[in-house]
Amino acid sequence: MTNIYDTLKQNGNFNTLLRAIDTAGMEDDFKTGGEFTLFAPTDQAFSEVQKKQADSLMRDKRSAAELVRRHTMNGRSMSKGLKKSVTVLNGESTKIETREGLRFGEAMAVQPDIECDNGVVHVIDRVLIPQSAMIKA
């Protein structure tokens, strides 16, 4: 096994998420930090976000950190062990549904339970946009 950061990098489908982690200054957290559960949106998921919203998510360290924290929780949680609501690192509560596959908020896990040295990754099909990055239509 390898750490969360290197697992994402080796996969090749998480370049945008890795850029957010780097911009946020959280690379070491996902390489050598404590155990985390990361709900990882793919590059495809990021491509479906409006360009203005995507730009606002990456505009500075604080915005990128908010995005990453919105998709991460402390501890190692496999899909079968998740509760109906989890608290992510930014303090928000996110609903979990496991009846017909794993749902994290509005996102569906397309590949759950990737074990890493320092946690677990659940690959999801959507980016959960922090309120601070919402663009008015």
Residue 28 has a pLDDT of 96
Return the HEC string of 31-63. Answer: HHCCCEEEEEECHHHHHCCCHHHHHHHCCCHHH
Most confident of 33-37, 51-55, 123-127: 123-127
Give the total number of structural domains in the chain.
1
Residue 51: CATH number of its domain = 2.30.180.10
Q: What is the pLDDT of residues 59-104, one digit of tens each?
A: 889 999 999 999 999 999 999 999 999 999 999 999 999 888 899 9
Residue 52 has a pLDDT of 75
Confidence of residue 1 (pLDDT cuts 50, 70, 90): confident
Residue 130 has a pLDDT of 65
Q: What is the pLDDT of residues 103-131, one digit of tens each?
A: 999 999 999 999 999 999 999 999 998 65
CB 86 within 8 A of CB 130: no
Task: For residue 45, give its domain range.
Answer: 4-133
